Structure 1
Amino acid sequence: MEYLFSLEIIYLIASVTYIMGLKMLGHPETARKGNLIAAFGMGLAIFGTIFLYKGEVASLIYILIAIAIAIGTIIGWGVAKKVDMTKMPELVSLFNGMGGASAALIGLIEFSHYTGDQISIFTILAGVIIGSISFSGSMIAWGKLNGTLNKPIRLPAYNILNNVILVAILAFATFIVLTGADSQLFLYLLFFAALAYGVLFVMPIGGADMPVVISLLNSFTGLAAAFGGFLYGNMVMLTGGILVGSAGTILTFAMCDAMNRPLASVIFGAFGEGTTGSDASKQTSQGSIKKTTPSDAAILMNYANQVIIVPGYGLAVAQAQHVIHELEVLLEKKGVKVKYAIHPVAGRMPGHMNVLLAETNVDYDKLIEMDDINSEFQNTDAVLVVGANDVVNPAAHNDPASPIYGMPILEVVNAKSIIINKRSMNPGYAGIENELFFNQKTSMLFGDAKDVLTKLVQELKNM
């Protein structure tokens, strides 16, 4: 019986729940259950560590642990319950940053306990550096996502400066490991240098590249946690860190493919650079546009056999996800087949549109990924683009000089009719005009997404 409740068995069960949860997160229909299973495993690992620890622990330590768990639970539960679905990317960045900070703090506390052990010191410094970069970088990403830091800030030759600082950090850490220096001053210099690098790394990056940044920083946090697990010989911490790190890395590669960016340019290149909004304003207009009204759009969609809806960040900003689901249900009652085309980097984080639409109970089978739906556009009577821009811009295929050239896009240009809802003709994150706006098959439906979709629903109800 004692063996059944040993810490090793608890850690094994927890590790299995992590793997199961991560597997289930791969599909929207099972993601919620997978998250709960993994959370159960984490809770099991925490309480197993507290109550099955073999060493002597002062009563005060247990009291402090209980207080910390209570405070963290209250804050985490309260924030998660109150956050709007449109603010989910910011919350992901914030929580990811806390994970990085925890890994860095472990290193700061344990450094003096492993003096002379080169392998342990290497592990500690790796956790401090990676965790600090993840923390400060995630905080900057959080600021960019919530609009506090909405403009990229680039120092002169920032790319060279960042790379020099990174090399200096690695060289300094190598010096500490090889010389056995046990100076707390050296440790804190390394810590603050890593924090500064995290800020400088993310600060120049524009909003369009945030999905890649979030995935990359997520992998950093996992790697930092894995180093902590290696230091303590804690298998569940090591397993969790490896899973988070590898999943974040795989997702980073997927996001890079979706944005046509090599990973090397993400880490060392002019990441986030491209045509700016001011440059875009100087571009010559590609022709005239055709405007439409909710009434005309309703007539077109009412007599269509199939309609594909392309959601973008503008849908999230307007909080129009419930109205668009109402539109989908209404069209289906009229015999129209409706699907949603999901681009991998639509929104501010991977899966943002899936999460947003799941809130309204959209059938998961209607959320079709880019590779699967592109072949259907040519047989689609009408496409409704709501708040998306660069992910449907044909310049990605047609203009070698375009900053998004080569980026995989939703090929809505092949549909028979295209309706695009935007507030204005302002460019997207890439800062360029969208060729699709000037296509003869395109009609522009200007206005706030929620207001426009509400009018569109009302017009369909009157038919």
Structure 2
Amino acid sequence: MTILSPTWTAILYLVAAVCFILALKGLSSPKTARRGNLIGAAGALVAVITVFLSTKLDNIPWILAAIAVGAAIAAPVARRVQMTQMPQLVALFNGVGGGAAALVALLELGHTVVPEGETTGLYELTTVNAWVRVAIVFTLFVGAVSFSGSLVTFAKLQELMTTRPVVFPGLPVVMGLSILAAVAASVFVVITGEGWLAVVLLVLGLVTGVLLVLPVGGADVPIVISLLNAFTGLAVAASGLVLGNVLLVVAGTLVGASGTILTRAMASAMGRSVSGILFGAFRGGSTAGSTDVSDRPVRSSSAEDVAVLLGYAQRVIIVPGYGLAVAQGQHTVAELQAALEARGTEVVFAIHPVAGRMPGHMNVLLAEANVPYESLKEMSEVNGEFKQADVALVVGANDVVNPAAKSTPGSPIYGMPILEVEDARQVVFLKRSMRPGFAGIENELLYEPQTTLLFGDAKDSLAKVLTAVKAL
């Protein structure tokens, strides 16, 4: 017996769906992101409670135990994860979603099979069963691809394996054969409903996910995470069709659509196509160049000299990057902004769409340090202002300011829109070493006469500069 009537169930599902839509709207801006996240969480809570109150469930103790175990694992991990590791966490959570959808589809396949004694043939394939099985094979394959692919992206970002593209002779052929085999298995599963064929399809999906992500490297890995997120959304939407759950269809479609839009936006920000990102390594392209460190001389400076440059500048543009996140220097750079503004200096932050390891990484990092939202300027807005800037302070960024994106055809990042820091009167790089950025290519801007380097941990360097600015 259920507590909620179908009418109230539909109303509560509608409330949850509206919450998900409002959550996506809120996440589109740093000002409303926290509120959007809370609204989305509230919608998920409403959905879960509605399921319990509107569905006749078996094995409730096992279900509650599974929820408790999942919460016990996920909550501490989410609370303790550093901002630098957030993309890895997103990849893991995304993979778990895809894997869960695939397992649900595998279990639901048995409900579409009529026992042999109740039909004239081995299995009765009705029109309804056929469409349900189509949704099942789609969920199985796409969910498995998302699961295994997400694990590979996690390993790359966590540096458990090389971040460079991994290719081997015959990789395109092996991938093509796995996809063809998956199509054949899907057709036979739809026709026969054989469980062992569904398991084969699941394995083929896992193999395809690994083969899809291995050739992707460097700065393209976060884009693939977004693409796999879209895959998971589509798999969840298809599982909603399998289960007859409208809310899963709505939520999965929202995730699939938003993930697709985000993937295209990120690819555009990199100046590349999605197909080029996925299959560029097959043609000999790569997002990861040489990791060799040049021995050419550069102009380095002390924290005190950098402080003088900043302290007497009228306009400063700070470009944050992954190095700032690694060093956890966001609070120190916020203090530096406040100290400079107290001296009458205008300070803004230039945010590249793919700075860090995921979209919005720098926005979230600086918002955590209470940097005013008005001080965060997107690339399209700030690029024209570098010519009026006395100093461009680059903190832990490299690829997003590398002029090779405009001047060097054949470069892994050629065609990617960049922050045009070279137009500033003075450029100061805060770097730990001369090693190249995530894309693995050298930045010629480091050797230009207007460029000064301050070596060291970004947080420590910022602290020294801040102390020196206050002493001016």
| TM-score bracket relative to the smaller structure | over 0.9
Answering whether residue 220 of structure 2 is matched by residue 245 of structure 1, we say: no
| Residue 209 (structure 1) aligned with residue 211 (structure 2) | no
Identity %: 47
Aligned pairs (5 A) from 1:91-170: 91-115=89-113, 116=125, 117-152=129-164, 153-170=166-183
| Cα deviations by residue, 1:130-150 (Å, 9 ceiling, x for unpaired) | 111111111111111122123
Task: Describe the superposition over 1:392-448 as per-residue Cα deviations: whole angstroms up to 9, x where unpaired.
Answer: 011111122322211100011111110011122222222221121122211111111
The answer on whether the counterparts of 1:159 and 1:269 sit within 8 Å (CA) in structure 2 is no
Q: Which moved more, 1:1-10 or 1:109-118?
A: 1-10
What is the total number of aligned residue pairs between the two structures? 454
Residues of 2 paired with 1:158 and 1:126: CA distance?
Answer: 24
Which amino acid counterpart does residue 391 of structure 1 have in structure 2? Answer: V
Structure 1 spans left out of the alignment, 5+ residues: none
Distance 2:214 2:425 in 1: 42
Q: Root-mean-square deviation (CA), in Å?
A: 2.0
Amino acid at match of 1:265: G
Q: Does the residue aligned with 1:148 lie in a helix, a strand or coil? A: coil
**Which residue is equivalent to 1:72?**
70
Between 267-276 and 367-376, report the one with greater CA deviation: 267-276
- 1:267-306 map, 5 Å: 267-270=278-281, 273-274=285-286, 276-277=288-289, 279=290, 281=292, 288-306=297-315
Which secondary structure state, in structure 2, belongs to the residue aligned with residue 147 of structure 1? coil
Superposed, 1:319-334 pairs within 5 Å as 319-334=328-343
Cα gap change, 1:107/1:215 in structure 2, threshold over 3 Å: closer, same or farther?
A: same
TM-score, normalization: structure 2? 0.92
Structure 1 counterpart of 2:324, from 315, 318, 329 = 315
67-76 or 89-98, which deviates more = 67-76
Report the Cα offset of residue 3 of structure 1.
Answer: 6.5
* Corresponding residue number in structure 1 for 2:122: none
- Superposition map of 1:38-77 within 5 A: 38-53=40-55, 55=56, 57-58=57-58, 61-77=59-75
In structure 1, distance between residues paired with 2:372 and 2:380? 19
1:5 CA displacement: 6.6
Deviations 1:124-183 (A, max 9, x none): 010011111111111111111122123433222423432332233223213332xx1222
- Indicate if the aligned counterparts of 2:181 and 2:204 stay in contact, CA closer than 8 A: no
Q: Which residue of 2 aligns with 1:262?
A: 273
Q: Is the 8 A contact 1:11 1:236 kept in 2?
A: yes
Partner of residue 367, structure 2: 358
Give ranges in structure 2 of 5+ residues lacking alignment. 114-124
TM-score (norm 1): 0.93
Report the secondary structure of 1:28's partner residue: coil
Note if contact 1:222-1:241 (Cα within 8 Å) is conserved in structure 2: yes
2:459 aligns with 450
Q: CA deviation at 1:83?
A: 1.4
Tell me which of 365, 388, 395 is aligned to 1:386: 395
Matched, 1:7 2:19: no
SS for the counterpart of 2:355 is coil
| Alignment partners' CA distance in 2, 1:311 and 1:210 | 20
Cα distance change on mapping 1:19 and 1:427 into 2, 3 Å: same
Please tell me whether the aligned partners of residues 218 and 439 of structure 2 are also in contact (alpha carbons under 8 angstroms): no
